[in-house]
Structure 1
Amino acid sequence: MFRTACLFVGLMLAAPAVSTAQSFDYPNARQGTVVDDYFGTRVADPYRWLEDVDSPQTRAWIEAENAISKPLLAKLPERPAFEKRMTELWNYERSGTPFTRAGKRFYLRNDGLQNQSVLYVESPIGATPRVLLDPNTLSTDGTVALAGTVVSPDGRWLAYGLQRSGSDWLEFRFRDIASGEDRTDTLKRMKFSEVSWTHDSAGVFYSRYPAPPAGADPGTFDDLANQKLYYHVLGEDQARDRLIYERPEQPRLGFAGEVTADGRWLVVSVWEGTSQNLLYAKDLQTPDAPVFDGPLIGLVDEFRADFLLIGSQDSRLFVLSNDGAEHKRVIAFEPLKNATAEVVIPEGPDTIDTVTRAGDELIVLAMHDATHRLRRYGLDGEALGEIGLPGLGSVTEVEGEAGQSTLYYGFESFLQPTTQYAYDLDRGQGSVFFAPQLAYDPDDYVTEQVFYRSADGTRVPMFISHRKGLSREQTHRTYLYAYGGFDLAQTPSFQVERLVWMERGGIFALANLRGGGEYGEAWHRAGTLQNKQNVFDDFIAAGRYLVAQRWTTPRQLGINGRSNGGLLIGACVNQAPGLFAAAVPTVGVMDMLRFQKFTIGWAWVSDYGSSDDAGMFPSLRAISPVHNVNPDADYPAVLVTTGDHDDRVVPGHSFKYTAAMQAAVQGDARPVIIRIDTKAGHGGGKPVAKKIEESADIYAFLWHYTGL
């Protein structure tokens, strides 16, 4: 098959030789002559052809690369042990956070090695649970995943989203909860949208993108423009759905419509990038007009901050915002009064992560030095105390209903798998709803939090986890992970693969870099646009701290990051190649001059800036992994990973980076290889079998190439 493909593309690629321990003969990727002019600066893009991921030339290159990487990874001596132990530990029953609607309780449950978790319902609450939806029956290989569930207010209908092969594209269907049968109507062309029921359970608001022109391929990597907000009446064909809101003059805007729990308000959030949004409202109980007639009421008419709906109380809308509050605060709008929002819960020293309306309270999830605190407030903002958490960790999800006294939440740490709790707000008492059981002793491990200084003196936190009693008289293999972007905080989380790494005597470290949301908007902005270099400085400083404290050495330090974190790894490998022994950039944003030209990439301009801006171009070129590969550098071993259906960070990023790196390191004894997963995307919905396979490859690679 490989030989035929090579002949078809005119001998563009040379067949790969068998790799040895001393050298790697990579495919001879053709270097094209494309040169772009950025404000008078000419920049070569020799691997532009790899952006066309479905062309015969690119498919042949993919085949040639996998012919190198698959055998190498399969033959790593550590891999069988990693896969065996990961499979053993992954085989434990686990539960999602329960939620209740109309006297029924719902939750996801996985018996261990099921590729996808199964949705169960208790009707009424406390009854024997029964299977409501099993995604494992929808595909033979587990690549169809459940991607969102919304129960109608009357508890009769389940709207559920399906995600195929890891793509961000969604299809929503409707199931009768009592009978388990689906209706015939289906919602398609959905991406970055959920559904929200009207209070009468007659239909849902949702957003979709236009269908492609007649005869065009509705492909995975479609450009995203002209999203519109619709209302769908249950039982009708999607073609009859009512258009609610659009902005044709601004095709990049996206819309999210959400109905408050009491059914009174439709709140529409308008977004363009990954931060800042507009906010509008519509009173659905207006007595003198049809429910959807009339204009929306403008609550926020300019992009200046983030505004996230929490819930409502009669005429008030509770919103979480960082408008005038670096650490966020809760405010309340009264749309019918058209008055300025009032502050309900003021900004404090800890950054607010989320707020949930439950019972007659607002439950605030806040972060203190990248760990969670769960606090109770009245609807008037009165502080009612704190819900005690088991230790240094994270609340994974909070679920509650207005008027219902039971709150559910999940808690996890680096050493404790996600445990689900029920908390009675009236009594102030909590209990375990579901506790998973794994074949290991968490008391054998320890997590500590340290603080180190970055290049400019900024104090940065980092978690370090390992077996108890690990000798400090010698250094150890260390796996350093980080993200650093888009206001996303990296709090402690449990992952089986990290536990296996620690079981073998390795150290796991998580650094909380600028660009994330750990310390509010100032911390986020300090890692964006022209400040993006701070993120890489923070990560490099984390590695140097681990070496200086004699946890590890540069020959024992492995690094990994995903998505924006893949950019982090690529940039740091370029900037400090001698600090790391092995690096795994996963689904990374590697071409910082062209990321905005693919699928949803334009939405990241708010964090990254754009090469179309003369002021941002120099900064982006300076950090772009593809454009800063140095043939004279002494690079670590590199394993690039991506999915062929990744329509968020398109695989062309990883393809171009791999080709550039391989051209620079020809003849080096340390490999630069790429693992290209099929029927896989950015990571969402990945079946357990694929997760174990990928994790075994990554961790065996890191362990092997961090050995002295």
Structure 2
Amino acid sequence: MPRRPAACPSTASSSVVSALPSTDPAAPSAGTSAASQQQQHWPYPAARRDDSIVDTLHGQRIADPYRWLETANSTETKAFVEAENKVAMDYLKQDSRQAAYKQTISQLQSYDVVRYIRKKPNYYFISYSATGVNGLSDIYRQQTLNGKQELFIDKNTLSKNGTLFVGAFEHSLSGKFLAYSTGLSPQDTTIRVVCAEDVEDLCKDKGHTTDVVRGGTSFSITWTHDERGFFYVKSAKPSDKQASSDANAGPGNALYYHRVGTQQSQDQLILSSEIAGRIATIDISSDGKWLMVNLDKKGAISVWAASIDEGGKGVPQKPSFRKLADTGEGSYSYIGTHGGRFYFTVSEGIPQSKVVAYDTNAPNDGFVDVLTVKDGQRISSAYVIARNHILVQYFQGSVSTLAVYKMGTDSHVRDIKLPPGMVNFILTQQQERRKINHSSSRCM
């Protein structure tokens, strides 16, 4: 049956309290009369008093006769705690309301949570799981947020009995393909492709293509905008040949391009981590023209980019990478591209998080600060929205705030008010004016 997350448990005291059994100590439990409860005796364990323990503080003698209880692992303290627990459990067991308490609390804490949501031109793709449950869930699709749901991927077909690790799910730009990875570990997965519509000579709706890509890492599936194929990362082998002219040595992994409908043996080696270290992240620019790569060499991060736009001809055989920056220990996360400028958030390894930009038309200028934060704030994430705006999420303490800035001029447009709490993730789409919030501490 299609699933939809239940409404969050109401915080209104009337609805919660009315669902619980009476907690009035004067009210007898079912099957136990008030008279019999008054006659019952619950002997509390005697605690040894040691009057020899006396401290002198500021000239005053302070007795501490039960200090021996501070030695939690002593035989005497353990025996006293066990005796206390026995009294408590004996009392609780005779109270018939306990089963009702447990059932009510379990019901209040059990509801479906959205774990995964993506919007594509024809469908929303959504996955739910019960609170407290991690791991893979079924994926559903629906044409509108409130529309009828249909099962798109049955989790049992991906990993029977939960024996396989299930890694990335990545939709192509239009949503007609979904690539996903499964394996025995995050560093050794197999990537497969399922169709969300009939694709001539490849697959039927909800059917798999013939693509099987082995050895990929769990995070690394990135589609090109033309939907002809995707980039992925796998552990480097001695036989992998260098695809770049830069020859700095370094162990790690390798970046490949796989074209849908072809054999893995035909995949292009795009970049070997021998040039500068382990491939940490890969992104396609929001205009689809650039491949962005973060490389990690012994903790030092460098940012690279290569043009993959050849006038509709597909990914070039040997993309030419340019190093945008050596960032040291900073973590650069790509946001989007506007007017030849790459936007990134920088959130680790520096005193304050910020948004920076790199102008491909003025490469000698390097990264330029676009937005810095006030003391006590931290930029958690940023997204391109409505084609030419940036939505920035701030953390201050345990509270999330959102603000919108205009790309190009980098001017502040407005703040978005949120109820108190912390936003877990935000779904945005650059071409649309809609955002979807998901909160870990409140319903939205």
TM-score (norm 1): 0.42
How far residue 278 of structure 1 moved from its aligned partner, in angstroms, is 0.8
Q: Is the partner of 1:141 in helix, strand or coil?
A: helix
Q: Structure 1 pair 192/303, CA: closer, same or farther in 2 (3 Å)?
A: farther
TM superposition shift of 1:290: 7.1
Q: Which residue is 1:389 aligned to?
A: 418
Corresponding residue for 1:430?
none
Give 3-state SS (helix, strand or coil) of 2:161's partner: coil
Query: Residue 407 of structure 1 corresponds to which residue in structure 2?
Result: 435
Residues of 1 paired with 2:312 and 2:138: CA distance?
Answer: 45
Residue 126 of structure 2: which of 90, 107, 120 is its match?
A: 107
Cα 1:210–1:306 change in 2 (3 A) is: closer
Q: Which amino acid aligns with 1:318?
A: Y
Given candidates 278, 281, 292, the residue that maps to 2:302 is 278
Q: Which position in structure 2 is the counterpart of 1:347?
A: 373
Kindly report which structure 2 residues correspond to 1:368-517, keeping only aligned pairs within 5 A, or say none. Answer: 368-379=396-407, 380-391=409-420, 393-413=421-441, 416=442, 419=443, 421=444
Q: Quick check: 1:228–1:255 contact (8 Å CA) kept in 2?
A: no
Query: Counterpart of 1:96 in 2: which secondary structure?
Result: strand
Q: Which has the higher strand share?
A: 2
For 1:336 and 1:174, the matched residues in 2 are separated by 37
CA 280–336 in structure 1, closer or farther in 2 if over 3 Å, else same = farther
In the aligned structure 1, how far is the partner of 2:216 from the partner of 2:335? 23
SS in 2 for 1:199: coil
Given residue 176 of structure 1, which amino acid in structure 2 is its aligned partner?
C
Counting matched residue pairs gives 325
Q: Are positions 1:177 and 2:196 aligned together?
A: yes
What amino acid is the match of 2:346?
S
Counterpart amino acid of residue 173 in structure 2: P
Is the counterpart of residue 233 in structure 1 residue 259 in structure 2?
yes
1:285 deviation in Å? Answer: 2.2
Q: Distance in 2 between matches of 1:115 and 1:86?
A: 24
1:619-672 deviation digits (Å, cap 9, x = unpaired):
xxxxxxxxxxxxxxxxxxxxxxxxxxxxxxxxxxxxxxxxxxxxxxxxxxxxxx
Classify the secondary structure of the residue corresponding to 1:160.
strand
Contact in 2 for aligned 1:154/1:200 (Cα 8 Å): no
Q: Name the amino acid aligned to 1:358.
A: I
Write the letter of the residue equivalent to 2:401.
R
Shift of 1:142: 3.1
Residues 384 and 253 of structure 1: CA distance in aligned 2, closer, same or farther (over 3 Å): same
Among 162, 166, 169, the alignment partner of 1:149 is 169
CA positional deviation for 1:155: 1.9
Tell me how far 1:126 sits from its aligned partner: 5.2
Q: CA deviation at 1:302?
A: 5.6
Cα offset, 1:378, TM superposition: 1.8
Q: CA deviation at 1:175?
A: 0.4
Tell me: CA distance 1:119–1:394, structure 2 relative to 1, closer, same or farther (3 Å): same
SS of the residue corresponding to residue 98 of structure 1 reads strand
Per-residue CA deviation, residues 454-476 of structure 1 (Å, 9 max, x unaligned), is xxxxxxxxxxxxxxxxxxxxxxx
8 Å CA contact 2:173–2:227 kept in 1: the answer is: yes
- CA shift for structure 1 position 167: 5.1
- Other-structure match for 1:205: 231
Letter paired with 1:337:
A
Alignment equivalent of 2:278, drawn from 253, 256, 260: 253
- Gap regions ≥5 residues in structure 1: 1-76, 214-223, 422-708
> Quick one: distance in 1 between partners of 2:429 and 2:382?
12
Q: Secondary structure at the match of 2:211?
A: coil
Q: CA deviation at 1:184?
A: 2.0
Task: State the Cα distance separating 1:111 from its structure 2 match.
Answer: 6.2
Looking at structure 1, the residues matched to 229 and 262 of structure 2 have their Cα atoms a distance apart, in angstroms, of 10
1:96 aligned residue: 115
- Residues 261-308 of structure 1: CA deviation (Å, up to 9, x unaligned): 3211111111245x6521111122255997424421210146352211
1:142–1:156 CA distance, 2 compared to 1 (3 A): same
Letter in 2 for 1:174: V
Rounded Cα–Cα distance in structure 1 between residues aligned with 2:227 and 2:333: 24
Distance 2:129 2:218 in 1: 26
1:190 partnered with 2:206:
no
For the Cα contact (< 8 Å) 1:395–1:410, is it kept in 2? yes
How far apart are 1:232 and its partner, in Å? Answer: 0.7
Structure having the larger proportion of residues in helix: 1
Relative to 1, partners in 2 of residues 1:167 and 1:340: Cα closer, same or farther, differing over 3 Å? closer
The letter of the residue matching 1:102 is: P
| 8 Å contact from structure 1 (residues 189, 210) kept in 2 | no
Provide, for residues 497-529 of structure 1, a one-character-per-residue CA deviation record: whole Å limited to 9, x for no partner. xxxxxxxxxxxxxxxxxxxxxxxxxxxxxxxxx
| Change in CA separation of 1:351 and 1:124 when aligned onto 2, cut-off 3 Å | closer
Give the conservation status (yes or no) of the 8 Å contact 2:335–2:384.
yes
Q: Output the CA distance in 2 between the equivalents of 1:307 and 1:260.
A: 14
SS of the aligned residue for 1:256 comes to strand
Larger Rg over CA atoms: 2
Paired with 1:94 and 1:299, the residues of 2 have a C-alpha distance of 40
Other structure's SS at 1:117 match: coil
Match of 2:142 among 122, 129, 141: 122
Deviation of the 1:137 alpha carbon: 3.9
State the one-letter code of the partner of 2:304: Y
Q: Is 1:147–1:162's contact at 8 Å kept on the other side of the alignment?
A: yes
- Secondary structure (helix, strand or coil) at the match of 1:352 reads strand
TM-aligned CA deviation for residue 403 of structure 1: 2.0
| 1:260/1:266 contact within 8 Å kept | yes
In 2, distance between residues paired with 1:407 and 1:388? 14
Q: Distance in 2 between matches of 1:236 and 1:289?
A: 17
Q: Take 1:96 and 1:300, find their aligned partners in 2: how far apart are those partners?
A: 34
Tell whether the 8 Å contact from 1:136 to 1:144 is kept in structure 2 after alignment: no
Cα root mean square deviation, aligned: 3.4
- Residue by residue over 1:293-338, the C-alpha shift from the partner in whole angstroms, topping out at 9 and shown as x without a partner, is 4421210146352211111114111111258952211111122431
Match of 1:672 in 2: none
Secondary structure of the corresponding residue to residue 265 of structure 2: helix
Give the superposition deviation at 1:363. Answer: 1.3
Residue type at the aligned position of 2:306 = K
Q: CA deviation at 1:189?
A: 1.7
- C-alpha distance in 2, partners of 1:341/1:378? 18
Separation of aligned partners in 1, 2:391 and 2:213: 33
1:97·1:399 contact (CA, 8 Å) conserved in 2?
no
Match of 1:15 in 2: none
Deviation of 1:259 after TM superposition, in Å, equals: 0.7
Counterpart-to-counterpart distance in 2, 1:114 and 1:355: 26
Amino acid at match of 2:406: G
Report the equivalent of 2:328: 303
